[in-house]
Structure 1
Amino acid sequence: MTQPVSPYKGKTGLRRVLNAAGYSWAGLSAAFRHEDAFRQEVFLALLLIPLALYLGETGISRALMIGAVLLVLIVELLNSALEAAVDRISLEHHQLIKRAKDMGSAAVMIALANVVVVWALVLLG
């Protein structure tokens, strides 16, 4: 049995890039609208990124501090996508669904801990 081919996969060149940019913007907008944690982390990033530019003494220290903050946003987007997909499949309480959501949450927690560790190491030397 063959899987149907997506009509969007045939796009190439500039059209593919523009489509991808549109989908990415839609994903960011949806996360900001529907995910409280993502909004909080965006506001934290809006505070921390300029602070990293000010406090970082070298380009590498600034990049490490900003990269750690951006990693939180990336992991939160992936966690939110996982939760949305799982909720689409079933809203029933199931141990595997709980495990998947808990693991996504743990990934966000580790990314947040990474911010603390990176910033402490950069700022305290």
Structure 2
Amino acid sequence: MNRLIRSFGHAIEGIVYTVKTQRNMQIHIGAALLVLFMGWLLQISWSDVLLVFFSIFLVFILEMVNTAIEATVDLVTGEFHPLAKTAKDVAAGAVLLAAILAVIVGFYVFLEPLLVLLN
């Protein structure tokens, strides 16, 4: 049981590290809070709330994977290497794709309620 508790502690340390040190994660959190507040204001359906949460957590997860890859690459080599650049670029690209998906989901979920509100 102690090992399980320690494992959760390490995971929480990783989340806290990412939030404290990664500007993009801080931006993602701010955007997520804004989107969730808008969802509450617009009273979006529970199924749409689920889509929003899935999108938010996908971006968070990939930002953390990106941070882990960058830290590992920096640990292995302090010098420029094309493969190190590729690893970092691919990880950043994964975050970008998740963010684009989140925007698409946002249009799907929020466009109609916003149009109804504006009319």
TM range (shorter): 0.7 to 0.9
State the distance in 2 between where 1:49 and 1:97 align.
Answer: 36
- Superposed structure 1 runs of 4+ greater than 4 Å apart: none
Q: Which residue of 1 aligns with 2:95?
A: 108
Q: Which residue of 2 aligns with 1:120?
A: 107
Superposition RMSD on alpha carbons, in Å?
1.5
Change (3 A) 1:29 1:62: same
Q: Percent identity?
A: 29
CA shift digits 1:54-98 (9 cap, x unpaired)? 435321111101211121111100000000011000021111011
Structure 1 residue 46: Cα displacement: 2.1
Question: What are the residue-to-residue correspondences of 1:39-118 with 2, within 5 Å?
Answer: 39-118=26-105
Q: TM-score, normalising length from structure 2?
A: 0.84
State the distance in 1 between where 2:67 and 2:52 align.
Answer: 23
Unmatched segments (≥5 aa) in structure 1: 1-13
Q: Which residue of 2 aligns with 1:27?
A: 14
Q: TM-score, normalising length from structure 1?
A: 0.81
Structure 1 residue 28: Cα displacement: 1.2
Q: Which amino acid aligns with 1:114?
A: L
State the distance in 1 between where 2:100 and 2:36 align.
Answer: 16
CA shift digits 1:86-114 (9 cap, x unpaired)? 10000211110111100011001101101
Q: Which amino acid aligns with 1:63?
A: L
Higher mean displacement: 15-24 or 105-114: 15-24
Partner SS, residue 44 of structure 2: coil
Larger RCO, structures 1/2 (Cα 8 Å, 6+ apart): 2
